[in-house]
A = this chain, B = another copy of it.
Amino acid sequence: FWLSPLACAQSDPLPSWNDGATKSAITEFIARVTTEGGSNYVAPAERIAVFDNDGTLWSEQPVYFQFAFAIDRVKAMAPEHPEWKDSEPFRSIFAGDVKGALASGKKGVAEIMAVTHAGMTTDAFAGTVRDWIATARHPKFARPYDELIYQPMVELLAYLRANGFKTFIVSGGGVEFMRPWVENAYGIPPEQVVGTSGMVTYELNGDKPVLKKEAKIEFIDDGPGKPVGINRFIGRRPIFAAGNSDGDLQMLQWTTLNDGPRFALIVHHTDAEREFSYDRESQVGKLDKALDEAPGRGWTVVDMKSDWKTVYPAAKQ
């Protein structure tokens, strides 16, 4: 009632972004695709935006948060598994040596993920995720993991939705690990989360149907799997994509290498003080090929240190 059009135009939809080329590129793109009658107008139904999660919407260092969850689950489950005490990768975990556990390689990591992510119902697993999100704390920031989300990206998601976009997560992370908390964190409902998934089987026990999680990967939503996941789950080609690593390269290509207005954004982790600084040499979130390809493709690279006024939202009480 009290808002004049002028007041609306002046309110900043991206207050945590510093003014500059990156922010302008975003707002100019949104203006172009939403201007009816303009040559770059896109109908609302086609305004599909896809976001990687780890390193794009929340932090991913020193280890992927889902791996931190798995480590904590191994510790919590240890009393029921005395046999773990004498075998890797579990022995390293109990000794507090996560690097040692990772040194067990793909096989060890797969075993950690299998014992913590399978053998229970989908409902029971969602419960353990919710409990962990509520209680676990990040080693560097001593905050709940779901507070280590990027405030500028949360604003970007809301800004896109306010302009008629449907926002999706398209992540290499586990879909059942994300769904219990992303709606609250990002405003993205479960049905708009695409991720890596394990096999699930249906059982009817008396009058109680359950879905049981099996220790078998069904789909890896990473690298060339991301356009495949977008096609399978969304069935439309996005016009906006955001990522932070080479795992997003094909998603950014699939989004932008087509006719019409298209936008790709890469979050470059340049802020060792407020967050972490890493790219080409990192074990987690390696950004190399996509960074090389960005200038030629016209992809917008976010310099976290200079483009973001704040990184995380203020702590909740």
Contact = CB atoms under 8 A, between A and B. Distances in A.
Interface residues of A, number: 39
Interface string A227-265: 110011111100000000000001001100110000000
A197 interface: yes
A200 B231 contact: yes
A234 B190 contact: yes
A198 B234 CA distance: 15
B208 A257 contact: yes
Contact of A257 (B122, B209, B224, B228): B209
A224 B209 CA distance: 11
A204 B250 contact: yes
Contact of A253 (B191, B192, B200, B204): B204
Contacts of A48: 191
Contact of A228 (B179, B201, B207): B201
Contacts of A191: 48, 166, 168, 192, 233-236
Nearest to A200: B228
Interface in A293-307: none
Contacts of A225: 202
A48 to B, nearest CB: 8
B236 A211 contact: no
A200 B232 contact: yes
Number of copies: 2
Interface string A186-230: 000111110001001110100111010000001000001101100
A45 interface: yes
B224 A202 contact: yes
A133 interface: no
A120 interface: no
B227 A189 contact: no
Q: For the complex of A and B, list the 4 residue pairs with the smallest distance between their C-beta atoms, beginning with the closest.
A: A190-B235, A202-B224, A191-B234, A202-B227
Given A191-B192, A193-B235, A204-B253, 6 more contacts: A122-B231, A175-B235, A191-B235, A209-B253, A211-B254, A218-B232
10 contacts: A166-B191, A176-B235, A191-B233, A191-B234, A191-B235, A191-B236, A200-B231, A200-B232, A209-B253, A209-B254
